[in-house]
Structure 1
């Protein structure tokens, strides 16, 4: 599936490319018992043709159903500026289910399923979008806290059409390859290359080449 995503992103239809940097800080852990918290701050910036800037502020509360499954309810605030002008502001509510499958033939495998309700300042419709992520990590050292090779693929699908531009069907595909580096405690740094292929109705596929660096603070 990851290979298919990379092939799609590199296809000749991808006539519009851009380079970006995404910087991310995420904190997560238990509050009490099975009650969980999650807080993420991500800054995105374009370094290609467009002066593109976007923030993603994403708090959530969750519940550990068992050792492998957790459910979350969250909110996202997403202001986007292009060429120093506010393009739009998006607010989202989302529901998420995460699974940890443990060690498999392709590494330590996990998945995340997320349903979003999207509200944007440049329209009045509510957009419904489903996202499915698969993630695998493979140790590349033999010490107790090894550096790990990391790969993820995430498919986005719009469930309806809106007056602010969303079109029902395939929305985008994100493919990431990099490393997971252990730091203090259970915290890690994830760094690598992310390929974001975006379906634009009545236009060519847009591909963003992203340097992604993320700090995960885990309690």
Structure 2
């Protein structure tokens, strides 16, 4: 994707999320943030079998779909949860949501571009990148981000990734389908191959791909956002 096309996609995605967060509350029924990702909470429980104090990083955290439930589960421990998102308004809403749900003391929120965010080495027990990595600027940026995530993970730590691939947009009025305007739109097979190579020395706990279709209002159109959604979970074993 050339620079001009990337900026168009970045602005389109930012505008969509900005409007969505303005018009919908966290955990609102009927929206894609009505509940945390089940695998996110499942893997959190896996980690909690062995330790109660966790350092968690939620990349592309938005207003707290996963950040808030994770922090709620970690109440009473010495855990810390770091949320990072590109949108300043999303980060501010995350802070407000953290206060509303009584977990403000556990959560740090920061506005930053995920692919440029400096992850401290060997620091986190759990890193989430849910619907985040497809917003990196290039294949090389994706590889660098994954490398930084790996370097920032403690032995026994887990990565939980979901990623939209093969993205297309279908106009709900005309039925016309076109390639989705998203920063990094790559085939499912390519993304899965990259993840397999990246985590070749880790224990892969889950990998699956399911087709997904989400109704959206984007760029003044009613569309179905369609993709093959990858879920990939791996644990550092050496």
> TM-score normalised to the size of structure 1?
0.31
> TM-score normalised to the size of structure 2?
0.29
More helix by share: 2
